Amino acid sequence: MDYQQSVAMAPAGWTHFRIGDLDRLPPAVKAREMARVPASEREQLANGDSDAIQRLLRASFWTFVYHLEPDLWDRLSRAEPIRPELLAALPETVHRALDVGAGSGRLTEHLLGRSRQVVAVEPSLALAGFLHQRLPAATVVAGWAEALPVRDRSFQLTAAAGSFGPDPAVLQELHRVTEVGGVIALISPESPEWFEARGWQRLSAPHGTAPPHEPWIDAFFGPPEPLHELVMTRVTAPSSGTYR
């Protein structure tokens, strides 16, 4: 999602954050966040323009949540479970599974049931800590999807939930780390139609209703919705540049 889309789609909870919160992010995370800011916005930010600051806070909303308010994310993710139809469509048993952008473990939990070894990659140390405590059987590794800290072709199932869209750098990495014959599965990716148009199998489950949850979740994040889309592809050849 680009900067303007992130600004436009920020949930109401963005007002919870202040510009000083950027300095509370780990330096590498702050640097990534600032690198997203378009050149046209930078001068306005440097001049303290309040509209530009507001746009930056809106665009950074999810990063603030993952890194500074992990408990809020965790509570939202419980109100948005993965629809069982999607879980049923994943490969039943694999030797090694990877969860990329694993958060506090919403998908990891289900991978553990179908894989002898599960590796969870997550850049938010706070969320990785939740995951480690909750699911000690998973190996939790800090890292980014654009440069996964795992070897080539080492997983039969490479999965992510709610995390990525048609980003060539990420898709190349998912492909690189998946064995030939293995499956890449993205649950509720951005732009599922992009994947479908390129031959990925798409499964759209009924939206379903969110389980009972605390009312503040609606006010802060908007109405929770269970994850109901899956796109999946089988890797037929070692990594190639086919994702542009």
Q: Note the residues at the interface with ligand SAM (CB under 6 A).
A: 66, 77, 100-103, 106-107, 122-124, 127, 144-146, 161-163
Residue 94: strand pairing partners: 115
Within 13 Å of residue 77, how many CA atoms lie on the same side as its CB?
24
Phi, psi of 82 (to 5 degrees): -80, 130
Closer Cβ to ligand SAM, 123 or 224, answer by number = 123
Question: What 3-state class would DSSP assign to 138?
Answer: coil
Closer Cβ to ligand SAM, 101 or 182, answer by number = 101
Pair of tokens at residue 161: 């939930």
For 13, other C-beta atoms within 10 Å of its C-beta total 19
Closer Cβ to ligand SAM, 146 or 225, answer by number = 146
Q: Measured from the CB of residue 192, what is the shortest distance to ligand SAM in angstroms?
A: 15
Q: Measured from the CB of residue 60, what is the shortest distance to ligand SAM in angstroms?
A: 12
Q: Measured from the CB of residue 142, what is the shortest distance to ligand SAM in angstroms?
A: 10
Closer Cβ to ligand SAM, 61 or 200, answer by number = 61
Question: What string of DSSP letters covers 38-101?
Answer: -HHHHHHHHTT-HHHHHHHHHHTHHHHHHHH-HHHHHHHHHHSPBPHHHHHHS-S-EEEEEEES
The residue at minimum Cβ distance from ligand SAM is 103
Quote the Cα angle for 17-62-114, to 5°.
145
Phi, psi of 182 (to 5 degrees): -80, 175
Closer Cβ to ligand SAM, 52 or 105, answer by number = 105
Closer Cβ to ligand SAM, 36 or 49, answer by number = 36
Q: Measured from the CB of residue 239, what is the shortest distance to ligand SAM in angstroms?
A: 18
Q: Measured from the CB of residue 104, what is the shortest distance to ligand SAM in angstroms?
A: 6
Strand pairing category for 229-234 and 178-187: antiparallel
Interatomic CA distance for residues 89 and 146, integer angstroms: 26
Q: Measured from the CB of residue 53, what is the shortest distance to ligand SAM in angstroms?
A: 22
